[in-house]
Structure formats: structure tokens, C-alpha cells
């Protein structure tokens, strides 16, 4: 289940580049307003699959009606859109209920007024689909250094392991969701040059990728990626996707081309989020 949330900022709001932590706080707070116990269980426990735990939810970046990039982040005003998704309807219903009980919410030191909340109808799922990111996809792998110490390393879409880890991650999520992993295969094709985003989440710098891509294979795994997010740290604001025609930056004039100039996030990989 997926919802679209509209906020309104009557005055200028400065969003630092690491505002994902604010959205994460709002995600759990709104859920707690609707169903406190469920919010606590999702936050503290999550769902187990393949030896790991998942929240089975994801949310997008904020997409403002008007914004201006400044050195500290971006200055926004007017309407802002936010999408939240999960294969668990009860989770999204709790979050929507919580937001409906509050005419306004706090995002950092700023007040946003809650506008329309609507259910987004899912696309028709096929064995081959083109998708666009609403928040960066983050993928990592572990390796040991010369001293035998274990380190995580960010992967880029240019590395073969990126697609492999994406598929493995979705199989583990399927085990967390259904109790048994879906034994399906996936192939990925990057349709544009992926755009690197170095952002801060939970006091950790994370490199993710905004992109348009084609995925082929198991429909069930593709659906899980659409609902719960692709890659890691989904409940921290990474890995949300949509079909191109649902993307706020899509236009027929672009012919589905991902337009960097309209992306409300740092467009350059050397623009690091401040911790």
C-alpha cells in the first residue's frame, strides 16, 4: 500500500541536506499517533528474513513545489509532496490515521501543515518494468582489511555486485514478509547514468544512487521492491521507486529522461551531506 502526503509551508523552510533523519522521525511519530504499539514493534523489532531484520517500509525524499539550493541545503516554500509505502497495509493505515489527526507537524524547527492524503493505486506488475527512484538506492557489501577487520563498502551500479546484492536483498525481504524466500531471479539495466548522492542518515554518511532502470524477472520480487524499497536502509528514506509516469519530475517532453536539473537533492556526487 502506498500513500501520497501533501504538506504546505506558508513561509520559507530551510531543509539541510541531512533532513532524512527528520522524515524518519516523522514516519515513526505519525505511525505512533495512529497505532502506538505497531509503531513500537516496527521500530524496535521489524521483521526477520534471511538472518536479517527489515522494517518492510520505505519513504521518498520531499518534492517541493518551489525550492532554492543554498549552501546549507535547500530553501522551500508552498506545497511539498511525500510518498510512503509498505507491503503491510496496517502500517500505512496507521501512519495515515496519525497524520489525519494532526493539522500540522514539525519538521526540525519548522511547522508544516498537513494537506491531502491519498492512496496511490499500484501499477500493473510485469516481468519487465521500468522504474525511477524517488529516493536514492543504497547497497553495500562487507570485506575484511589486511588486519582482518570487517568493513562495509558502498557499491556503485557500475559494479556487478550491485545488482546481485539488490536481488539477494529482495529475496530476504520476501522471507521476512512471507516466512519463506521467493526463489526468483532478477536482472537490472541502468537506463541513464546513475546520479550519486552522499547523504547523512542516523549520523552515518551513506552513498546512494538516483536513477532510472529496467528490472526483469520475478514479478513477486519486483512487487516487493516497489512496496518495501530496493536496497538497504529503506525505513531511513532510501530505495523508494515508482513507474516513470508517476514521478514528479517526469514529463512527456523529456521522453522519460531523468532530469537532473529538477532533482530536489544535491546533483553532484561531491556535494556531501553535512553530519
Distance CA 108, CA 193 (A): 33
pLDDT over 90 (residue 47): no
pLDDT digits (tens, 9 = 90+) for 73-90: 899 999 999 999 999 999
pLDDT digits (tens, 9 = 90+) for 210-231: 999 999 999 999 999 999 999 9
78 and 191 together in one domain: no
**Do the Cβ atoms of 104 and 112 come closer than 8 Å?**
yes
103 and 200 together in one domain: no
Last residue of a domain, one of 89, 119, 149: 119
pLDDT digits (tens, 9 = 90+) for 170-183: 999 999 999 999 99
At 253 the pLDDT is 52
pLDDT digits (tens, 9 = 90+) for 232-247: 999 999 999 999 999 9
pLDDT over 50 (residue 275): no
Grid cell, residue 126, equals 510485469
Last residue of a domain, one of 97, 119, 141: 119
Helices (H), the chain: 20-34, 36-44, 89-100, 160-178, 219-228
The single-letter DSSP state of residue 62 is P
Rg of the chain taking only CA atoms, in angstroms: 18
137 and 214 together in one domain: yes
Q: Which residues pair with 150 in a beta bridge?
A: 144
183 and 91 together in one domain: no
190 in any annotated domain? yes
At 251 the pLDDT is 67
Closest CA to 210 of 100, 132, 117, 129: 132
Closest CA to 271 of 69, 108, 106: 69
**Do the Cβ atoms of 33 and 124 come closer than 8 Å?**
no
Query: Dihedrals φ, ψ of 228, to 5°?
Result: -105, -10
- The average confidence (pLDDT) of the chain is 89
- Residue holding cell 500500500? 1
CATH code of the domain containing 181: 3.30.70.1900
Residue 66 or 271, more confident: 66
Burial 244-254 (b: 16+ CB within 10 A, else e): bebbbbbeeee
9 and 111 together in one domain: yes
**Do the Cβ atoms of 137 and 155 come closer than 8 Å?**
no
- Residue holding cell 547523512? 200
Q: Per the structure, how many domains does the chain have?
A: 2
Is residue 73 helix, strand or coil?
strand
Q: Which residues pair with 74 in a beta bridge?
A: 15, 69
User: 52-54 and 47-49 as β-strands: parallel, antiparallel, unpaired?
Assistant: antiparallel
20 and 114 together in one domain: yes
21 and 135 together in one domain: no
Distance CA 159, CA 176 (A): 27
Confidence class of residue 266 from pLDDT cuts 50, 70 and 90? very low
Write out the residue range of the structural domain in which residue 39 sits.
2-119
pLDDT over 50 (residue 270): no
Residue 89 or 260, more confident: 89
At 20 the pLDDT is 93
C-alpha neighbours within 13 Å on the C-beta side of residue 170: 28
Amino acid at each position: 500500500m502506498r500513500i501520497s502526503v501533501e504538506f504546505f509551508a506558508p513561509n520559507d523552510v530551510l531543509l539541510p541536506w541531512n533532513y532524512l533523519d527528520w522524515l524518519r522521525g516523522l514516519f515513526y511519530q505519525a505511525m505512533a499517533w495512529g497505532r502506538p504499539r505497531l509503531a513500537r514493534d516496527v521500530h524496535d523489532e521489524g521483521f526477520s528474513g534471511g538472518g536479517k531484520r527489515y522494517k518492510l517500509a520505505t519513504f521518498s525524499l520531499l518534492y517541493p513545489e518551489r525550492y532554492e539550493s543554498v549552501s546549507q541545503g535547500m530553501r522551500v516554500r508552498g506545497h511539498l509532496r511525500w510518498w510512503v509505502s509498505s507491503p503491510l497495509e496496517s502500517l500505512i493505515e496507521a501512519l495515515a490515521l496519525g497524520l489525519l489527526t494532526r493539522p500540522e507537524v514539525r519538521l526540525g524547527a519548522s511547522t508544516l501543515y498537513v494537506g491531502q492524503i491519498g492512496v496511490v493505486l499500484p501499477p500493473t506488475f510485469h516481468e519487465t518494468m521500468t522504474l525511477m527512484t524517488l529516493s536514492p538506492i543504497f547497497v553495500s557489501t562487507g570485506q575484511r582489511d589486511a588486519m582482518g577487520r570487517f568493513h562495509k563498502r558502498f557499491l556503485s551500479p557500475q559494479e556487478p555486485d550491485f545488482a546481485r546484492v539488490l536481488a539477494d536483498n529482495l529475496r530476504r525481504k520476501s522471507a521476512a514478509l512471507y516466512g519463506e524466500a521467493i526463489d526468483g531471479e532478477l536482472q537490472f539495466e541502468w537506463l541513464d547514468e546513475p546520479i550519486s548522492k552522499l547523504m547523512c542518515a542516523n549520523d552515518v554518511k551513506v552513498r546512494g544512487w538516483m536513477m532510472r532502470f529496467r528490472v526483469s524477472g520475478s514479478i513477486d520480487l519486483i512487487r516487493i521492491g516497489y512496496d518495501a524499497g530496493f536496497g538497504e536502509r529503506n525505513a531511513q528514506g532510501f530505495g523508494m521507486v515508482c513507474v516513470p509516469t508517476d514521478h514528479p519530475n517526469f514529463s512527456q517532453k523529456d521522453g522519460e529522461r531523468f532530469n537532473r536539473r529538477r532533482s530536489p537533492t544535491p546533483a553532484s556526487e561531491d556535494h556531501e551531506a553535512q553530519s
